[in-house]
Chains A and B, each alone.
Chain A
Amino acid sequence: MDPNTTAWTVLLLPLLVAASILLGLKRWSGLSALLSTGSAALTLILCLLLASGDGGDVKPFPWIDLGLDFRVEIGFILDELSRGMMLIVTSIGFLVHLFSLAYMKDDDGKARYFAGLSLFMFSMTGIVLADNLVMMFIFWELVGVSSYILIGHWYSKNTAADAAKKAFLTNRIGDFGFMIGILLVWSLTGSIFFEQIKDAVGGVTNLTMLNIAVLCLFCGAIGKSAQVPLHVWLPDAMEGPTPVSALIHAATMVAAGVFMLARVVFLIDAAPTAAEIITWVGAITAVLAALMALQQNDIKRILAYSTLSQLGYMIMAQGLGHGGSDAGMFHLYTHAFFKALLFLGSGAIIYACHHEQDIWKMGGLKKKMPITFWTFALGTAALIAVPFTSGFWSKEAILETAYHEHAMFPYVCGIIVAFLTPFYMTRLVIVAFFGKHRTENADHAKEVGPIMWVPLAILAVMAVFSAYDPIAKPLLANGHADFKHLVEHFGLTAILSLLGLAVGVGAAIYLYKGRDSDPVSIPLFRDKFYIDELYQGIIAIFQDAVASILDIVDRFVIDPLMARFPAMSALTAGSFFRAFQVGNVQTYAFFFGVAVIGLILFLLL
């Protein structure tokens, strides 16, 4: 197959599947699920083909043509960045589809669920392959809606319905900035196509405007990648089925912000002030989210805050120039595997424990679910950067770059996170897997079946080895395990992160071993710095109260002034209408029609 057909098939096949499920296949939910999983497998194979080829031209589809200065196409870029990202999206996508076959086996909305997954695969593919900003925005919004559908999968649950709405609206706020950014970039460089922007960016003289433009684009990333201050939707998004959390809210969609920044890295390079702010936002998010993770009890929420924190790392890297961008993408790839593994592992636990999510109501799962335990442990090892796992290499790459670029504040933040991550993850593992079972649900837990543990096992291999060739090679030329570099540059960063690992794990073991309840209580962290409450207050005052006041103004000031007054004066003659209601309506209608049409016929002749 030529790249043109391959690329278009990768994009359109999932849409076709989603549409056909929606249009009628949904009656046969098993068939729908298989079809969706099959399409995920096929797109994975096609992406492997694409990755092994050397790109090539893809014929764009003209979406709208509004003259010389504005034309939007659905066109593709098949470079290293997009091909690498597609491998991540389709491989994890396929494993999550597979896992879902078992996880959602008895769900009433199974067909709808798989349609949502396919819609997501379509939308995510569009973001990754997009060759222009407007196309990226189109699919950016579409992943937002697939996320909405999947978070709200159990829509008759109030919490799920609220979480879905919150996720979509928070993202919309980010997209408000994103769109302004696109407009500004367009007016500065005269184009929306990445290639042309890249060529034109050197000629931009208005640096202030360029910095603002980049920051506006970054707003989109803040929303989608859940950075502070728009991070609040991601923990709530855990209301969705767990495989969805693994695919969308850990591995791929939330990384779209990072990907987008990597796509426009030439703009960030040209806008140093914006770049610095991006790095700082990432660093702050990394630390704040890690602090919030320390005191959570819901297994998925711990992982969600951990995702926020790791996304902070990646965003931080994107502000550090070309080298940082590669490091960030490297971490995106390794994180995708180990975080998807951790989420699917937590899914297996939740499934086995009859939908129990509180780690304090688990305990002793190591013996009951050995495969889940060992794979989960490997994922944890990668996340807390145990030497020579994939996560170790990618995190080192980011911290090294920050050190190198003299970004001291972000560097310090990164090191702090290196102490916190091992702590909260060890806490999770000890409380959930070790000790004795604390509830009946945990006692009755059994190991999950092969459809669920095979994806876990594959991901566990990836979590450990994805920084090594041959897995790393097709993903990213500039990001893989590099022993030589590590030995030659062994210094502060490596020592500090190893220290962080030892201290974090040690402290967690000391504090949590054999405990039945949390010995530590820090309300500020547990209640997430009260940011949600703050936002609720802001919305209540600046949106809802203002809206109500304006509604009253509209009813009692504008309406009487502009409409009621002239109307009232005429109402005195108002018995007219009542005559129609009680009187002979048919006669009236007859004469009315005859008069009108007669008039026209008269004029015609």
Chain B
Amino acid sequence: MLEIIVFLPLIAALAIALGAPARFTALSASAFALVLSLVLAIQFDLTKEGGFQFESARPLLDIGGFPDLSLSFGIDGISLVLLLLATIVMLSAVWVAPGEKQIKGSSKLYYLSLLLIGGGAIGAFCSTDLFFLYAFHELALIPTFLMIGIFGHGENRVKTAWTITIYLGVGSLILLVGLIMALVGVGADTFNIEEIIALAKSPETAIAAGEQKWIFGILLVGFGILVSLFPFHSWAAPAYSDAPEPVAMLHAGVLKKFGLYGLIRIAMPMLPAGMEALTNVLLVLLLGNIIYLGLVTIAQKKLDRMLGYSSVMHMGYVFLGIAAANHLGVSGAVLLMFAHGISIALLFALCGWVRENYGTVDFEKLGGIASHVPKLGLLFGFAAFASAGLPGFANFAAEVAIFFGAFKGAEDGIGWIQWATIIALWGVVISAVYMLRAYRSIFLGECSKTLSAPADMTWAARLPILLLLVALLVVGFVPEILNQFIRPAVEGLFLVKAG
């Protein structure tokens, strides 16, 4: 069944290319993928400690001297949570995408690309083979670039598209170098992730600590570029503001999590000594995301830019959870990947509605529109508070776990990471500042007279928004719903570490 989920979006994309009705096919494929991934969640065996489930493998290459290649899939609790994230956001993004007639150019290309981005991300999260993990991500990146260049908005969209093509291309190359070094380091003759990690853990084949530091550094830069870790972040905000909103939803919400997933899945268990050596560097960089980029976010004057920067800023918290390198912090990081993915998709979807109906997302040109469009105002209020980490939304549960995880060990004195946690907590104030300011200047206060009032959001427009909102609220009220999957998987990561 897992294979069906992975290939469903890709086959649907093929069908669209061959002439199937674009929107209908894309919508039904993503709805079906979501239902199937929910079924997987129900069937998931919670009693198993760690390890992949629903595994499948199709050996492809078995040549001596070259690692064995196999198209193999499987999920543990971490990948399951990301699979759910991907299928939820994909359905919502396809749903809010403009109708076929409104798309200038080819609606086929538009919907096909959305499916490829979503499908690529799903493939990457579900791959248990390192080669395909990497390949699926690349597959998803290409349509992202195309969509920004062709269907994006803003005069600079072509330039933006080129910038991120090259930037992320370079990031992927650096990542590739790091992965190859790691593979060679353990002397793997397979791409199977579990086997590679087992090799890295066994004393005979483990990489020397001094070497680990270098490899981890390279992987951190490679994955860091993809996740917009400070100072490799500057591609992100323009890309998201120029991208069509469904693409911003899918990339900021889902695809970007690939880098974090890679760090947790590969770099952290394979290179514990390297990670320990570079933790303090990582702390400085992630504070760059939280504080420096948090302040930059405050200075933004357009909603799309602000959301772009805020998305980059929040990556700092996920990195903090990873830097904690304990059960609490990593669980929080995984939970925040889900929560952030949903909430940023929610915000971009609403931003898209504002752009479409008001023709602008400038704070200055908008103002007091909640009295025109109260339903939108209410939904945006929910989204803004979710993003600012209000309890009741998944984001809060995740952040609490991260803060406690990173603060752990303070009984032996306040060390680097505890200080970093304290500074990072100020980011919670910062994100409330920019979110409430944006909400105040767009929605509240006196309504600007020059604005003409559009009709409020219809049910059809609200349903994909509600899908995301309900996901955030359910996980926020009962975080155990996801945590029950994450707990054994994260324990599994650390078990491997001990063995």
Do A and B interact? yes
* A residues at B contact (CB < 8 Å): 62-67, 69-70, 72, 134, 137-139, 141-142, 145, 152, 155-158, 161-162, 164-165, 168-169, 172-173, 175-176, 179-180, 183-184, 186-188, 190, 543-544, 546-548, 550-551, 554, 558-559, 562-564, 566-567, 570-571, 574, 577-578, 580-581, 585-586, 588-590, 592-594, 596-597, 600, 603-604
CB distance from B480 to the nearest CB of A (A): 6
- Asked if B403 and A179 make an inter-chain contact with CB atoms under 8 angstroms apart, the answer reads yes
Residues of A within 8 A of B234 (CB): 554, 558-559, 562-563
Q: Cβ of A142 and Cβ of B391 under 8 Å apart?
A: yes
Contacts of A164 in B (CB 8 A): 444
Closest-CB distance, B455 to chain A (whole angstroms): 18
Give the interface centre of A72, A169, A566, A597 by most chain B CB atoms within 10 Å.
Answer: A597
List 5 contacting pairs A-B, 8 Å CB cutoff, sorted by A. A63-B479, A65-B487, A66-B331, A550-B296, A578-B158
B231 in the interface (beta carbon within 8 A) = yes
Chain B nearest CB from A437 CB (Å) reads 32
**Pairwise interchain contact A586-B158, C-beta atoms closer than 8 A:** no
A336 CA / B362 CA spacing, docked (Å) = 45
Contact call A165/B440, Cβ cutoff below 8 A: yes
User: Is A169 a contact partner of B432 (Cβ separation < 8 A)?
Assistant: yes
Q: How far is the CA of A179 from the CA of B429 in the complex (A)?
A: 12
Contact residue among A145, A158, A567, A589 (Cβ-Cβ distance under 8 Å from B167): A567
Q: Which residues between 129 and 157 of chain B lie within 8 Å of chain A, taking CB atoms?
A: 139, 142, 146, 149-150
Quick one: which of A62, A570, A596 contacts B116, CB cutoff 8 A? A596
- The total of Cβ contacts below 8 Å across the A-B interface reads 206
The residue of chain A having its C-beta at the shortest distance from the C-beta of B143 within the complex is A592
Which chain B residues border A69 with CB–CB below 8 Å? 328, 408
- Given A183-B407, A589-B112, A563:B150 Cβ within 8 A: no
Besides A570-B162, A590-B17, A597-B10, 19 more A-B contacts (Cβ < 8 Å) are A64-B479, A66-B331, A69-B408, A134-B400, A138-B391, A142-B392, A168-B432, A168-B436, A179-B425, A183-B403, A187-B409, A543-B298, A562-B231, A571-B162, A574-B158, A586-B106, A597-B14, A603-B58, A604-B71
Across the interface, do B370 and A156 meet the contact criterion of CB distance under 8 Å? yes
Across-interface contacts of A566 in B (CB, < 8 A): 166-167, 170
A389 vs B421: C-alpha distance in the bound complex, in angstroms? 49
Q: Inside 8 A of B409's CB, which chain A residues have their CB?
A: 187
**Does B446 reach chain A (CB closer than 8 Å)?**
yes
Q: Which residues of B contact A65 (CB under 8 A)?
A: 480, 483, 487
User: Could you say which residues of chain A place their CB within 8 Å of the CB of B401?
Assistant: 64, 66, 70
- Are B328 and A145 neighbours in the complex by a CB distance under 8 Å? no
Closest-CB distance, A92 to chain B (whole angstroms): 24
A187 contacts which chain B residues (CB < 8 A)?
Answer: 407-411
Q: Is the CB of B296 within 8 A of A554?
A: yes
Instruction: Name the contact of A564 in the complex, choosing from B163, B371, B479 (C-beta under 8 A).
Output: B163
What is the chain B residue whose CB lies nearest that of A560?
Answer: B234
Cα(A577)–Cα(B14), bound, Å? 23
Given contacts A161-B444, A581-B150, A596-B10, A543 and B167 within 8 Å (CB-CB): no
Taking a contact as CB atoms under 8 Å apart, the answer to whether B10 and A600 are in contact is: yes
Give the residue name and chain of the A residue nearest to B170 (CB): A566
Asked if B353 CB lies within 8 Å of chain A CBs, one says no
B174 within 8 A of A: no
Residue of A nearest to B329 (CB): A66
By a CB distance below 8 angstroms, the chain A residues around B432 are: 168-169, 172
Given A66-B328, A155-B445, A600-B10, are A169 and B433 neighbors across the interface (CB < 8 Å)? yes
Cα A581 to Cα B408 with chains together (Å): 53
- Other-chain contact of A580, B149, B327, B371 (Cβ < 8 Å): B149
Cβ–Cβ < 8 Å partners of A168 in chain B: 432, 436
* Cβ–Cβ contact B162 & A66, under 8 A: no
Q: Which chain B residues (212-246) contact chain A, with CB distance < 8 Å?
A: 231-235
- Contact across chains for A547 and B296 when beta carbons are under 8 A apart: yes
Residue in chain A with minimal CB distance to B433: A169
Contact of A550 among B112, B299, B479 (CB under 8 A): B299
Q: Contact between B106 and A156 (Cβ–Cβ < 8 Å)?
A: no
**B410 and A547 contact, CB distance less than 8 A:** no
B390 adjacent to chain A (CB < 8 Å):
yes
CA distance A158 to B60 in the complex (A): 65
- A521–B351 CA distance with the chains assembled, in angstroms: 50
The 6 A-B pairs at the shortest CB distance, nearest first, are namely: A593-B17, A161-B444, A551-B299, A187-B410, A559-B234, A138-B391
Are B11 and A558 interface neighbours, CB within 8 A? Answer: no
Contact B396 A138 (CB under 8 A): yes
Chain A residue numbers with a CB within 8 Å of B422 are 180
A395 to B56, CA, bound (A): 74
B487 touches A589 (CB 8 A): no
Could you tell me if A64 and B410 are in contact, using CB atoms closer than 8 angstroms?
A: no
Q: In the bound complex, how far is the Cα of B404 from the Cα of A72, in angstroms?
A: 11
Report yes or no: A158 in contact with B446, Cβ–Cβ below 8 A.
yes
Complex: how many Å from CA A571 to CA B161? 11
**Residue of A64, A139, A157 with most partner-chain B CB within 10 A:** A64
* Shortest Cβ distance from residue A132 to the other chain B in the assembled complex, whole angstroms: 12
CB-CB < 8 A to A158: which residues of B? 445-446
Interface of chain B, main secondary structure:
helix
* CB–CB A580/B58 < 8 A: no
Contacts of B391 in A (CB 8 A): 137-139, 141-142
CB of B426 closer than 8 Å to a CB of A: yes
**In angstroms, how far is the closest chain A Cβ from the Cβ of B453?**
13
| Residue B109 CB within 8 A of the other chain | yes
Which partner residue on chain A sits nearest B108 by CB separation? Answer: A589
Q: Could you tell me the distance between the alpha carbons of A600 and B10 in the complex, rounded to whole angstroms? A: 9
B278 within 8 A of A: no
Cβ of B24 under 8 Å from chain A: no
**Chain B residues with CB under 8 A of A574:** 158, 162
Docked CA distance A318–B33 (Å): 57
Candidate in B142, B391, B479 with the most chain A CB atoms within 10 angstroms = B391
In the complex, the answer to whether B480 meets A551 with C-beta atoms within 8 Å is no
Partner of B411, one of A139, A152, A188: A188
Instruction: Decide: A563 near B13, CB < 8 A? Known: A158-B446, A176-B425, A596-B116.
Output: no
A156-B370, A559-B234 in contact; A183/B404 too (CB < 8 A)? yes
Cβ–Cβ < 8 Å partners of A580 in chain B: 146, 149-150
Residues in chain B near residue A145, CB distance under 8 A = 385, 390
B365 CB-CB contact with A under 8 Å: no
Please state if A70 and B328 are interface contacts (CB–CB under 8 Å): yes
Q: Tell whether A183 pairs with B410 under 8 Å between CB atoms, given A168-B432, A567-B167, A586-B109.
A: yes
Is B46 among interface residues, defined by CB-CB distance under 8 A? no
* B437 close to A (CB within 8 Å): yes
Considering the chains assembled together, what is the distance between the CA atoms of A544 and B433 in angstroms?
11
B295-A67 in contact (CB<8A): no
B286 adjacent to chain A (CB < 8 Å): no
Q: Are A156 and B446 in contact (CB under 8 A)?
A: yes
- Bound-state CA distance A316–B235 (Å) is 52
B112, A593: Cβ atoms under 8 Å?
yes
Of listed B58, B397, B428, B445, residue having the most chain A CB within 10 A: B445
List residues of chain B with CB within 8 A of the CB of A544: 298-299
B368 on the interface (CB 8 Å rule)?
yes
Hey, which chain B residues are within 8 Å of A186, CB to CB? Answer: 404, 407
**Cα-based distance from A152 to B368 in the complex (angstroms):** 12
CB-CB under 8 A from A550, the residues of chain B are: 292, 295-296, 299
Within 8 A of A (CB), among B358-402: 368, 370-371, 385, 390-392, 396-397, 400-401
B159 adjacent to chain A (CB < 8 Å): yes
Give A71 Cβ to nearest chain B Cβ, in Å.
Answer: 11
Are A567 and B163 in contact (CB-based, < 8 A)? yes
Give residues of chain B (17-42) contacting chain A, Cβ–Cβ below 8 Å. 17
Inter-chain CA distance A302–B281, complex, in Å, is: 53
Closest chain-A Cβ to B6's Cβ sits at a distance in Å of: 10
Closest approach, in angstroms, between the C-beta of A393 and any C-beta of chain B?
37
Give the docked Cα–Cα distance between A395 and B372 (Å). Answer: 50
- On chain B, the residues within 8 Å of A577 by CB distance are 149-150, 158, 161-162
Q: Is B84 an interface residue (CB 8 A)?
A: no
Residue of A nearest to B142 (CB): A592
Instruction: Compute how far the CA of A577 lies from the CA of B385 in the bound complex, rounded to whole angstroms.
Output: 39
